[in-house]
Amino acid sequence: MSEGQGALYRIEIEPNAELHDLEKVVKILRQFNAAAAGAANYQRLSVLARNDSGELIGGLLGETLWGWLSVETLAVDEAYRHSGLGSRLLGAAEAEARKRGCKSVYLDTYSFQALEFYRRRGYEVFGSLSDFPESHEKYFLWKRLT
């Protein structure tokens, strides 16, 4: 046991942490952020695509906060790639973000993923990390929505 601020605590590695514990960590951070920068108006955003059978074939997951759309994941099933589905998912997310009052969007991708896809849609690289993973690069991009 360790002590901090007069209270005892322990640190544990929990590879399969309970969802309520993960949500509590996020809540702690969001409370701190709101006190420091004002209400963020966090809202999850899920844009999903299904085929005629109702099977999920792709989607975009993210959130809106402080007037920004954060794209966390954009994925399209291999059978539907190069069909325009990714562009439609991204476009739908950007449109919803505008409705929510967002002015900009940010995301990241890897050199083996979709860098050119995002550049063709107006995204600009503002940073990168080399050898992440080894022999590849991670890119950080953004785009103004207004």
CB 136 within 8 A of CB 97: no
Q: Is residue 54 in a domain? A: yes
Q: Is residue 23 in a domain? A: yes
CB 67 within 8 A of CB 104: yes
How far is Cα 114 from Cα 125, in angstroms, rounded to an integer?
12
pLDDT the model gives residue 61 = 98
| pTM of the full structure | 0.88
Q: Is residue 33 in a domain? A: yes
Q: Is residue 6 in a domain? A: no
H helix or E strand, kind and range, residue 47: strand 43-50
* 31: CATH: 3.40.630.30
Q: How many residues does the chain have?
A: 146
φ, ψ (nearest 5 deg) of residue 21: -70, -40
φ, ψ (nearest 5 deg) of residue 20: -65, -30
Q: Is residue 9 in a domain? A: no
Number of domains in the chain: 1
The ranges of the chain with pLDDT < 50 are none
The partner residues of 140 in beta bridges, in order of sequence, read 108, 127
pLDDT the model gives residue 1 = 67
Q: Is residue 7 in a domain? A: no
Q: Is residue 86 in a domain? A: yes
Q: Is residue 13 in a domain? A: no
pLDDT the model gives residue 82 = 95
CB 107 within 8 A of CB 70: yes
Domain carrying residue 122 = 18-144
pLDDT the model gives residue 5 = 74
CA 41 to chain centre: 15
